[in-house]
Amino acid sequence: ETGVTQSPTHLIKTRGQQVTLRCSSQSGHNTVSWYQQALGQGPQFIFQYYREEENGRGNFPPRFSGLQFPNYSSELNVNALELDDSALYLCASSFRTVRGSGNTIYFGEGSWLTVV
């Protein structure tokens, strides 16, 4: 068990709605990353938060946004949901050093989002 917890585990939303997914980092970790995993694919990087600021973003539109809180927990918000947003959303925490090298990320169990 990694100590990374996510909620909710499953949810169903209607196209056009908004969703918020939550994540608590592993104790001692200062960085949170969010990934989207569609069926049959590997996790795709959405963005990373470090010191409460977005530290980097993958190829996802602005309707994907996030927050990191002082206790290093995090939220992923998706607006104007589309059918293709249906996927497993994974939160991963890590401890980022000053050099930012050799960081192993640890995943939570994920939140399954279905958009109908």
Partner 1 sequence: DQQVKQNSPSLSVQEGRISILNCDYTNSMFDYFLWYKKYPAEGPTFLISISSIKDKNEDGRFTVFLNKSAKHLSLHIVPSQPGDSAVYFCAASRTGGFKTIFGAGTRLFVKA
Sequence-ordered alpha helix ranges (H) in 1-116: none
How far apart CA 74 and CA 9 sit, in angstroms, is 15
Using CB under 8 A as the binding rule, whether residue 66 contacts partner 1 is answered as no
Select from 13-21, 66-74, 77-85, 96-104 the region that touches partner 1 (CB under 8 A). Answer: 96-104
Interface with partner 1 (CB under 8 A), residue from 48, 68, 74, 93: 48
Which of 13, 67, 86, 109 touches partner 1 (CB under 8 A)? 109
Q: Is 114 helix (H, G, I), strand (E, B) or coil?
A: strand
Per rule CB under 8 A, is residue 55 in the interface with partner 1?
Answer: yes
Picking from 49, 50, 24, the residue whose alpha carbon sits closest to that of residue 34 is 49
